[in-house]
Structure 1
Amino acid sequence: MVFNPLMQPNFFVRSCRRLSKPVNLDKPSITRFWLDVNALSGETERYCRKAPYPLSFGQAGNAFHDLSRHEKSYSMRLFSYFRSSASYRVRIALNLKGVPHEVVPVDLATDAHLRSPFAKDNPFKGVPAIETDDAVHGQSMAIIEWLDEAFPANPLLPTKPSERLLARELALAIATELHAPLGRPAIQHIRSELGGDQNAVATWQHRWLEKTLSGVEQRLEDRETLNFLFDRPGYFECVLIPQVYNARLSGFDLGPYPRLRKIDEACARLSAFRAAHPDAQPDSRDQI
């Protein structure tokens, strides 16, 4: 089970709103409580100390009770391949939202996705796929949207309709224009059916990357974007970062895309993105 309470500090801050007897968080008894339940690191404790809401011992206990009950009652598995950009998207989304889950590797290199039991439960025979309490569902963008609806805390999409439109415009430009031509099936077809060598594959990849990433970069330039599309990473960054990773693997020159590189650098400093990185996955070739 992968769960990091650092991913949802607002959950704990909401616990501080309605109180009868506020107490000082600096009291040793409260500090020992945080440490004894082994649920808050120093960083989250400091976050709560700075919160404008007082915190009672009883309210804190109730918050951790609710969190523990949620973690035990909801079981989710993510079927993933370490280098799949679509899987990478969902791993980032799960981490940003702080949703408890288990990563189950599916080895695309050995066609495990085409065999039972995975293929039986997932008619699309691809990754990622999410197994919830009721079924297995595929398609990364549908999964990410569902996560945001099913788990409202730490929203991936902003509240303003115009900003939601922009986030979807940029994310779906990458997901719809690049995923199919640059995906594993297309590259295999170029190599096996058309006899293309690595130079032919790279030329194909770079053609589509330049077309779409140029449009995304222009949008970011128009907004004078800094570290993220908005004030924090979300829907767009879930899709962008895996594509930047794959672009580098293909040898694509990201020099003309300073806004994309700046967002990539900012995201690389965050634990949600580092934990989702292909090199950090249980099926990564570096981990095997």
Structure 2
Amino acid sequence: MNHPSPNHASPHTARHGAHHAHEHTAGDHTEILDLDADVLAEHTASLIARLPIETSPRRIVDLGCGTGAGTLALLKHFPEAELTAVDSSAAHLHRLGEKAAAAGAADRVHLVETDLDATVWPELGRPELVWASASLHHMADPDRTLEQVHGLLAPGGLFAVVELAGFPRFLPEGAPEDAPGLEERCHAARDHHHAEHVPHRGADWGTKLAEAGFTVEAERTISACIGPTRTNAVGRYALSSLRRMRGSVASALTARDLTALDRLLDTDSPHSILHRGDLRVRTERTVWAARRT
């Protein structure tokens, strides 16, 4: 989510206190993860539906589950499965537990709070499917994590790695009117920030998976564009996302751009992003499906 990069993992997924620039509190991050799950629900479902799975798994592990965008989608797609949801944020796991109960699936979810950068993981069973969405790039040593997942999976099991191809875009080209192209300049500044602070973002996961002993069966990038029919949710998602982005890009923006960005983020302003009817969530995610042979 997880907000993070949408569909983001928890800010503590990889290690306590490590996620992007930590511009906001855990409560803020919970909100954006929930919005991500809501707005991109169909997109997440399509990612799962395209996995090369012939026999539905009975045991699934969601690594870096956040507040459960992937967890609940997996439970819905595989109604006979039980799932172990792993994260190091107690708040996010609590929220996931609430959502699982509301969906009538509490008895199918086992919550595990742990630091995935630990050299030894708690008992997670012998899953036939492991799902890791927007979490691997936060790991201190992702190569070791891949080896741990390889040892965790049942023989023939599948490891699904999902990573954002880029931070979602929301504004139309030429917006806002007082600073056209602002969003792209924010993205460029954010990419520079992440190159310094999130070194594993954009890694060659296909090669890394093969080096860890997996057979990569599929790699595809899937685009999503969610528009005006979800105006309210999309507006709140854009607001939360750009608020988080501001902390890591403010120092790189001109005074004009920063003023324009703050105007969009001011919910009391008539120029607030919440009042725009032309927003669309445009995002891409790349999925690697890797088999333990």
Fold in common (TM above 0.5): no
Question: Highest relative contact order (Cα 8 Å, sep 6+), 1 or 2?
Answer: 2
Choose between structure 1 and 2: higher strand proportion.
2
Instruction: Give TM-score scaled by structure 1 length.
Output: 0.28
Choose between structure 1 and 2: higher helix proportion.
1
